[in-house]
Amino acid sequence: MKGFIFDIKHFAIHDGPGIRVNVFLKGCPLHCLWCHNPEGVSFKPELMLMPNRCARCGDCIRACRYGALSQKAEGLVVADREKCVLCGDCVMACSRQAIEIAGREWSVEEVVAEVEKDRIFFEQSGGGVTLTGGEPMAQPQFVESLLEAFRQRGLHTALDTSGYGPEEILLRLTDMADLILFDLKIMDDKKHKEYTGVSNRFILSNLKALDNLGKPVWIRWPLIPGVNDDEANLASMVDFLLGLKSVQMINVLPYHKGGVEKFRRLGREKEFAIFDPPDPEKVDKAVDYFKKKGFKVKRGG
């Protein structure tokens, strides 16, 4: 069993309790305009260029057999992505790690071995492994195999999901996890489609179905100024969540511009938007709003 992963991060502290390893699965049915992991949206490998690391030596250009790379007048490398076959020759030729291929196949055994390196930190901190993305539900068989392997080894697991996918897959996977991190972005369906590319009807109905399992759920709400921070959206979200019994916490996740440079590295700037991060007062106001409604709230994951 193999799956497609674009990153594995050790010593993560924002996606579940304790010190964790985050496994980022590649591919997502949503296209959120503020995405901070745009390399996780496509289901295919992608070439990433890091101009701040580039030595302008031309080694990668000489290594490319397909003429996909060239240099601008100032020496920076640019890619013709239609010519690129993602062979990896340029990556091997670059001594500065200024070129990467985002996404490769991993076996269940490889992922487990990588995660097990941090077992001592899990035991000391009450941490574990978080499967995130991208969207884990987009690779259900692989994720199911991972969750089973981690369960057999006694590791705490968290599943981070957008909630968009078939209900039966969501329930099967979440039933195997110890904690569910559930993204809830915009309550108005029309607005949700505008900013994420998909309807939220499946998301909301899946969250209701998930609530019946009795698994602990942390709601993750990205705070995007001018998009979902209005009183109507907050009130609608609270009304919905008050009807659920499994929600233990709301994570308020202030928008940041960490994904902007990644858009450029992928050559996909035109597909996303740049927003202004919320000021501290706006974040405090949102946190206080949820607290006054009776929810446990945390800034960040």
pLDDT digits (tens, 9 = 90+) for 195-221: 999 999 999 999 999 999 989 999 999
Strand 217-223, strand 77-79: pairing: unpaired
Q: Is pLDDT of 171 > 80?
A: yes
264-297 tens-digit pLDDT: 999 999 999 999 999 999 999 999 999 999 999 9
Q: Is pLDDT of 253 > 80?
A: yes
Rounded Cα–Cα distance for residues 47 and 85 (Å)? 9
Closest C-alpha among 234, 225, 180, 233 to residue 206: 180
Rounded Cα–Cα distance for residues 98 and 250 (Å)? 37
* Alpha-carbon radius of gyration of the chain: 20
130-150 tens-digit pLDDT: 999 999 999 999 999 999 999
Rounded Cα–Cα distance for residues 146 and 282 (Å)? 39
Q: What share of the chain is helix, strand, coil (3-state, %, to 5)?
A: 40, 25, 40
20-32 tens-digit pLDDT: 999 999 999 999 9
Average confidence (pLDDT) over 114-123: 95
Q: What residue type is 53 in one-letter code?
A: R
As annotated, the residues of the chain forming the CATH 3.20.20.70 domain(s) are 2-43+103-299
What's the pLDDT score for residue 75? 84
Q: What pTM value is reported for the model?
A: 0.93
What's the pLDDT score for residue 235? 97
Q: Is pLDDT of 248 > 80?
A: yes
What's the pLDDT score for residue 28? 97
Rounded Cα–Cα distance for residues 229 and 222 (Å)? 9
Rounded Cα–Cα distance for residues 15 and 194 (Å)? 27
Confidence band of 188 (pLDDT split at 50, 70, 90): very high
Query: In Å, what is the CA distance from 92 to each residue of 52, 54, 60, 85, 225?
Result: 18, 14, 8, 15, 41
Chain mean pLDDT for the chain: 96
Q: What residue type is 47 in one-letter code?
A: L
How many residues would you count in the chain? 301
What's the pLDDT score for residue 72? 87
Q: Which segments within 135-235 are labelled E, that is strand?
A: 156-161, 179-183, 217-223
DSSP designation for 251: E
Which CATH number does 2-43+103-299 carry? Answer: 3.20.20.70
What's the pLDDT score for residue 69? 96
- Name the burial class of residue 176, with classes exposed (0-12), middle (13-18) and buried (19+) by CB atoms within 10 angstroms of its CB: middle
Rounded Cα–Cα distance for residues 187 and 164 (Å)? 14
What's the pLDDT score for residue 12? 94
Average confidence (pLDDT) over 236-248: 97
Q: Which CATH number fits domain 46-100: 3.50.50.60, 3.40.50.150, 3.30.70.20, 3.30.70.2190?
A: 3.30.70.20
What's the pLDDT score for residue 74? 81
- Percent of the chain scored above 90 by pLDDT? 95
Q: Is pLDDT of 73 > 90?
A: no
What's the pLDDT score for residue 219? 98
As annotated, the residues of the chain forming the CATH 3.30.70.20 domain(s) are 46-100
What's the pLDDT score for residue 150? 98
